[in-house]
Amino acid sequence: MSSTIYLALPVMLALAVLQTAVLPRFPILGMVPQLPLLVALAWGLLRGINEGIVWAFIGGLCLDLFSVAPLGTTALAFMLAITAVTWIENAFPTSRFFLPVVMAALATLIYLFIYLLLLRLLGQPIDLQTVAKLSPTALLHSALILPIYWIMHLLDQLFRPRPIKI
Amino acid sequence: MNLNEAQRRLRWGVFIILVGVAILLTILDNTGNLDAVLRFVQDPLATITGWTAARADSVADLTTGPRDLDTARDEIARLQAEVDVLERENEELREIQGEYQLLLDLFNRARQQPEFTRLTASVIGRDTSPSLRSIIIDKGSDDGVVVGMPVESARGLVGQVFRTTANSAQIVLVTDNASSIPARLGNSRATGLLRGGGLGGSTSIDWVDLTSQIEVGEVALTSGLGGKFPQDIVIGRVIEVDRREAELFQRAIVQPAVEFDALEIVFVITSFRPVDTEIFTNPPGG
């Protein structure tokens, strides 16, 4: 696990910069995807819950650096969402297509619920309209997870220790 | 203890520690104890974000039109800037007309709006949160930007400085859910509290007295009450009035004058220092 933590930091920092400076200029159907959530989810599905949580934590903290939300709120919501979906992962049929798509939608909805709840608890006046407006992001994430899962799969192959013949 | 048991314990250990750290960070940041650390981390990131945003602008320009239309696009941009200035002048003229109608001209002349010093800044980032509305600009405390300073664009009020680093600042937009600004309407002179609608809702002026006759199309301005914003900065225009006789107050839905999604340049009003009204909230002798 330790080797990919060093990978998570630059990847998530770069994604956070993209998230604040680039993605809002190119919204997809009026929505901005949360790339760090999808990357952490894909990594968690490929490498297990432990690494998924660490990537979610780092990704959330990096995002919070560019937000007026208190530091740690996104990290907390990301971690809980990814823990929840990887926890119930076994309940779904193992499929490289079906699993990430469903997991992305579920993780997004859980993340949004926890994140908005946290903001509400911290005094932000979040209303139901905001929840309704953000819910379609789950569909967008379902569509985007496959290329991201594929890229992360390649990265996983690159960093996975290779067997040595003796 | 077998290997599976050890792995399970490690997994939960990592999870509990990270959740604990996240909660601790949230509490520390919410109580303002992480400001120095955040400034230290955000400074180099602001430089990278600024550079990335400039490249993204170039790409966005390329995707919105072919390069051989550069001259036409420059001309459109120039004309658009002129239209912005004229629209703003028009709104200011409407405001003056409203003052004449209420015979308050003499009083208002006595307290003419001072000439504010403005610092031009580029927008280099937007809030990464899906539900919060803020922007990041490329000017910070080294340029004289202080928390609480009002920020406007050529069209009107943008928001208020929330946090600064040496070379960047986060601005909470007037459309953010948590934003509330004392506002006044140009013709009816009605006052209320401008609240941001956030992502799903609309920006509105709440708590307006029922006796005020609000008209659709009226200009909404900052009232200056509370000392957090200078008065008479254009906010937008009333597009709907929510008036129910059974209630004590009415509400005006406002269309902000600023197009927040297209913001590229803003002005920080550096000569205006928000007034600290906390002293009035404490009881005498307390």
pLDDT averaged over every residue in chain B: 82
pLDDT tens-digit readout, B20-60: 999 999 888 888 888 888 888 888 888 888 888 888 877 77
Per-residue model confidence (pLDDT) at position A111: 94
Q: Judge whether B26 lies within some domain.
A: no
Q: Judge whether B19 lies within some domain.
A: no
pLDDT tens-digit readout, B144-168: 999 989 998 878 899 999 999 999 9
The one-letter amino acid code at A74 reads T
Per-residue model confidence (pLDDT) at position B279: 65
Q: Judge whether B59 lies within some domain.
A: no
Q: At what angle do helices A2-21 and B35-64 cross, to 10 degrees?
A: 60
Supply the ipTM of this predicted assembly: 0.83
Q: Is B26's Cβ below 8 Å from some Cβ in A? A: yes
Per-residue model confidence (pLDDT) at position B103: 47
Per-residue model confidence (pLDDT) at position A35: 94
Q: How far is B177 from chain A (nearest CA, A)?
A: 6
Q: Judge whether B34 lies within some domain.
A: no
Q: Is B112's Cβ below 8 Å from some Cβ in A? A: no
Query: Are B143 and B208 contained in the same domain?
Result: no
Lowest mean pLDDT among B100-114, B123-137, B181-195, B210-224: B100-114
Query: Are B86 and B153 contained in the same domain?
Result: yes
Query: Are B102 and B146 contained in the same domain?
Result: yes
pLDDT tens-digit readout, B167-219: 999 999 999 988 889 999 988 888 999 998 877 678 999 999 888 888 888 89
* Facing residue for A53 by CB, picked from B15, B132, B172: B15
Which CATH number belongs to the domain containing residue B209 in this structure?
2.40.10.350
Per-residue model confidence (pLDDT) at position B271: 82
Query: Are B163 and B209 contained in the same domain?
Result: no
The total domain count for chain B is 2
Quick one: tokens of B70? 């550069």
Q: What is the pLDDT along chain A (166 residues), one digit of tens a residue?
A: 556 788 899 999 999 999 999 998 888 888 899 999 999 999 998 888 888 999 999 999 999 999 988 999 999 999 999 999 988 877 777 777 788 899 999 999 999 999 999 998 988 877 777 888 888 999 999 999 999 999 999 988 888 776 666 6
Query: Are B113 and B230 contained in the same domain?
Result: no
Residue A28's SS3 state is strand
Q: With CB atoms and an 8 Å threshold, state whether B199 touches A13.
A: no
Q: Judge whether B228 lies within some domain.
A: yes
Per-residue model confidence (pLDDT) at position B275: 72
* CATH assignment, A2-159: 1.10.1760.20
Query: Are B267 and B150 contained in the same domain?
Result: yes
Per-residue model confidence (pLDDT) at position A39: 95
- Angstrom CA distances, B256 to B130, B268, B271, stand at 20, 18, 24
Query: Are B160 and B92 contained in the same domain?
Result: yes
Which residue, among B126, B129, B138, would best test binding to A if mutated, counting the most A CBs under 10 Å from its CB? B129
Q: With CB atoms and an 8 Å threshold, state whether A116 touches B134.
A: no
More confident residue, B221 or A98: B221
pLDDT over 50 (residue B111) = no
Residue B76 lies in domain: 67-172+263-273
| CA–CA gap between residue A61 and residue B184 (Å, rounded) | 39
* Facing residue for B162 by CB, picked from A24, A68, A115: A68
Q: With CB atoms and an 8 Å threshold, state whether B129 touches A21.
A: no
3-state secondary structure A88-141: CHHHCCCCCCHHHHHHHHHHHHHHHHHHHHHHHHCCCCCCHHHHHHHCCHHHHH
Query: Are B201 and B166 contained in the same domain?
Result: no
Query: Are B202 and B95 contained in the same domain?
Result: no
The one-letter amino acid code at B249 reads F
Per-residue model confidence (pLDDT) at position A150: 93
Which CATH number belongs to the domain containing residue B120 in this structure?
2.40.10.340
Query: Are B159 and B189 contained in the same domain?
Result: no
Residue ranges covered by each domain of chain A: 2-159
| CA–CA gap between residue A28 and residue A136 (Å, rounded) | 11
* Facing residue for B56 by CB, picked from A25, A127, A137: A25
From the list A138, A61, A145, A55, the residue with the least C-alpha distance to A99 is A145
Question: Strand B191-195 and strand B118-126: pairing?
Answer: unpaired
More confident residue, B111 or B208: B208
- CB burial of A63-88 (b: ≥16 within 10 Å; e: otherwise) equals bbbbbbbbbbbbbbbbbbbbbbbbee
Which residue, among A71, A86, A113, A120, would best test binding to B if mutated, counting the most B CBs under 10 Å from its CB? A71
pLDDT band at B278 (very low <50, low <70, confident <90, very high): low
